[in-house]
A and B are shown apart, each in its own frame.
Chain A
């Protein structure tokens, strides 16, 4: 075990040593000659990542003269195509005489997530979309510029649940767009949340463009302890499959009688209609499952009928990662899950901190959620004071996944591109790519650093959270180091010592 982690340990040791230098200050001496990280070992084939890496980014094109350049889009042509559309839009705008809204973030360490990490690059946003990323981007005149030197830029984080931050049901109908919970979520770096069956941005004071996607999931209840329910689900899939066959037969039937109707969806049972959406790829299934037996059952079902499942929980996923990977399922895990091992069970079971890492190593997309406090609102944000276990510290859930063995890069993905893909919104969210939505956060430290504070959250190219303006965290490591500490409602007798 130790050997398996050696390489990472060294990295950690190196990072931590750096950390302690700043930690310790002058209170104690640190002697030179710290253990150097050994030469990196050959990677153990057993732990070699099998994750299919995104293709390396294409070289950036030099921007034509006088025009803002555009940076390293990766993957297929779609972002390019969208950028092309953006150009057309620009022409349209010009034709209409409307000035586009430019926002430039300069000098930061840009974590594109799907592409390379770029130190000192500029991210240029136009009308709420990312227009260019790169070192040679020309910032157009009149653009709003955020000098983010020494800061980090990440895509806005995506929370896979929301209990009290945005509204329930249809968030566009129920969200308090000026609510404190929204501000806190943006302060935590979240820009998008899942509520009910919708993906919604945590917009500030507006509902425009709030809903990114809806009806992306069909609930799949396939519990091992409910055999009748499982039979119903399977029958639903069979019926849906038959239905598709008969639709196809009807289509190919050359001598239809006049007035003969094709098979009607409304005649199907609810389970079958749900299954039909899954078989047609119109939705993904969403299921809760924690024990290995349920996970395997879901994997079997998905393989048999060929559809995708996003599973919440997945506590024992680490015991059957091959099955989950083979069926191409996705997992939403709680890294700090503390389900006890049942000693009566004759196989590995219970929760482990390494779950996210093991699943990732097998190529399973993983998203993370916080554990929720002992008494509190679960996946919302609570102000009862029991911190660190809700959405306000969502980045620490990824950090705990890193504690369990994920690399920093993989851990960042659990809050960005992985959930975006699970939700089918990765064409707009989850990474910094040209053409995607300008939803990003500017942080004072790396995302997984426990002292990280968000400086700005930007949604659709607009500043939706500004640490200094919101006040919530403005006094913690203030931007102006000479700023006074906030005064308090002090009892007069005690004076005001700070």
Chain B
């Protein structure tokens, strides 16, 4: 633990010092972290030699967030080697002898919350290498830091997975990484890299250079994506034997292949009506990319019909961090999410853009959405399974079902209610935060 602390301080100092230091910090991180992960692995192997690692959690209420929207009272969830193996009523269940047992019969067991818009899981707060207007090839994987103060904050808010994405200073600032909020090495925490490609539509990128307007930015983004698509298609043709010519490998475009194969989505900084319209039209409809609308605010709910037309499996709407929209035409406050909801969009999630809104307050973002007219249960879905769907990791996280990762929050009550709090956060079957053990933090 002491070493960890030292590491944090080192990161902080270096992070503040200079951007150049980032590489150093990152490498320092990964080297020490690797050393540690070796240790962990050794432990795991020794344990494995003895028996399977079983964790049994008794809970007063399990909100499974599965396809049937089951809520099971007096339930038990059995975890083996970090994966859920069984979810059932507690009555009649007897845990194995050596199992670790968590008794949360007075609490809720909720799937780990998934954050789709996060800038805090890295050694630096953000990645905004504003070199070119589009920077394909950059990736946040290089700056992932497994245990930072911000990660701890995520844990105390019940957040167990996050899409660590670069900033919106340019139209395309690189690839995001899907990370777990628990684990001590980069290998351990990274679920998928690339997790997404970050695209920013107008707004912030307009500050890039004088004279850069929306027409040019869209043209430029489209150009980069068209080239990447051509690269992907050339490879597909080659691999399928349709073409004999082996395309030349490109470090710039190779990561895009997964995007066009629809293995991961584009997380798009887009808000306000006209921009979201362009996003849906250009990325989802024309280029066939799976799109996550990553702000969807400032009145973007007016495009609800377009999202429905494009198909919610192609365009997933994650709203935030703005929670309310002041309608200057009619002196009203709209809930951004509530208006999407009323517009007929069902697959709705919430994000914080941490640190814009602190990561631990993701659930409070949901509370605000419900305050202004969303539905509480939908909010809980939006925090968990919809986030997982948006990240295209719904087969791994987002609900409590057999076969999925054992990522949970043990809550004193409904997570959407800000008076409820997290007693324990479990990632991959390991307790990463325990209010009793670590001291209550949020």
Contacts and interface: CB of A to CB of B under 8 A. Distances in A.
**Physical contact A–B (CB less than 8 Å):** yes
Interface of A: 1-2, 5-6, 9-10, 12-13, 15-17, 19-20, 22-25, 27-35, 180, 336, 338, 340, 343, 352-354, 373-375, 383-389, 393, 396, 399-400, 402-404, 448, 450-453, 471-477, 485-486, 488-491, 494-495, 497-498
Specify which of A2, A25, A399, A486 lies most central, judged by the most chain B CB atoms within 10 Å of its CB.
Answer: A2
Interface in B377-422: 377, 380, 412-414, 416-421
B117 to A, nearest CB: 14
Interface string B83-109: 000000000000000000000011110
Given A2-B436, A16-B414, A471-B331, A488 B302 contact: yes
Nearest to B421: A403
B326 interface: yes
| 4 pairs of A and B residues whose beta carbons are closest in the complex | A16-B413, A385-B322, A387-B323, A28-B69
B107 A498 contact: no
A1 B422 CA distance: 13
B71 A472 contact: no
Given A1-B440, A354-B440, A498-B343, A387 B332 contact: no
Interface string B65-87: 00011111110000000000000
Contacts of A25: 375, 377
A404 B418 CA distance: 10
Given A13-B106, A471-B332, A472-B333, A23 B297 contact: no
B153 interface: yes
B332 A498 contact: no
Specify which of B74, B322, B329, B419 lies most central, judged by the most chain A CB atoms within 10 Å of its CB.
Answer: B419
Interface in B135-192: 149, 153
Interface stretch (B40-48, B233-241, B366-374): B366-374
A20 B71 CA distance: 10
A180 B331 contact: yes
Contacts of B376: 19-20, 22-23, 451
B61 A12 contact: no
B72 A31 contact: yes
24 contacts: A1-B436, A1-B439, A9-B412, A13-B106, A16-B413, A17-B413, A20-B71, A28-B377, A29-B71, A343-B9, A352-B441, A353-B442, A375-B356, A384-B322, A387-B322, A388-B364, A396-B418, A472-B331, A472-B332, A475-B332, A489-B302, A491-B302, A497-B343, A498-B343
Contacts of A27: 69, 377
A497 B305 contact: yes
A399 B344 CA distance: 31
B321 interface: yes
Specify which of B333, B342, B357 lies most central, judged by the most chain A CB atoms within 10 Å of its CB.
Answer: B333
Nearest to B353: A374
Contacts of B375: 23, 25
Contact of A485 (B106, B342, B439): B342
Contact of A403 (B107, B273, B372, B419): B419
B294 interface: no
Nearest to A2: B436
Given A338-B358, A383-B326, A399-B418, A30 B332 contact: no
A363 to B, nearest CB: 21
B298 interface: yes
B70 A28 contact: yes
B417 A19 contact: yes
Interface string B310-326: 00000000000111111
Given A1-B435, A12-B419, 5 more contacts: A5-B412, A22-B376, A35-B74, A383-B326, A495-B305
A410 to B, nearest CB: 13
A17 B73 CA distance: 10
B116 to A, nearest CB: 17
Contacts of A383: 324, 326, 333
B335 interface: yes
Contacts of A343: 5, 8-9
Contacts of A472: 331-333
Contacts of B373: 475-477
Given A336-B361, A352-B440, A494 B105 contact: no
A342 to B, nearest CB: 10
Contacts of A399: 418-419
A311 B322 CA distance: 32
B439 to A, nearest CB: 7
Interface residues of B, number: 80
A6 B106 contact: yes
A402 B325 CA distance: 28
Contact of B418 (A23, A32, A450, A489): A450
A476 B341 CA distance: 13
A404 B441 CA distance: 9
Given A29-B70, A374-B355, A16 B435 contact: no
Contact of B73 (A1, A33, A353, A386): A33
B65 to A, nearest CB: 10
A23 B360 CA distance: 22
B375 to A, nearest CB: 8
B330 A471 contact: yes
Contact of A353 (B60, B105, B329, B421): B421
A385 B368 contact: no
Contacts of B323: 385-388
Contact of B412 (A16, A384, A448, A473): A16
B365 interface: yes
A13 B412 contact: yes
A476 B372 contact: yes
B207 to A, nearest CB: 15
Contacts of A340: 149
A354 B149 CA distance: 19
Nearest to A338: B358
Contacts of A471: 330-332
A30 B71 contact: yes
A451 B364 contact: no
B97 to A, nearest CB: 24
Contacts of A12: 412-413, 419-420
A23 B324 CA distance: 22
B60 A489 contact: no
Given A12-B420, A13-B60, A450-B371, A28 B71 contact: yes
B71 A400 contact: no
A471 B326 CA distance: 12
Interface in B329-349: 329-336, 338-339, 342-344
Contacts of A19: 376, 413-414, 417
B14 interface: no
Contacts of B73: 30-35
Contacts of B282: none
Contact of A396 (B325, B327, B329, B364): B364
B71 A10 contact: no
Contact of A473 (B105, B333, B357, B441): B333
B57 interface: no
Contacts of B193: none
Contacts of A386: 321-323, 356-357
A353 B71 contact: no
B337 to A, nearest CB: 11
A448 B321 contact: no
B49 to A, nearest CB: 33
Contacts of B436: 1-2
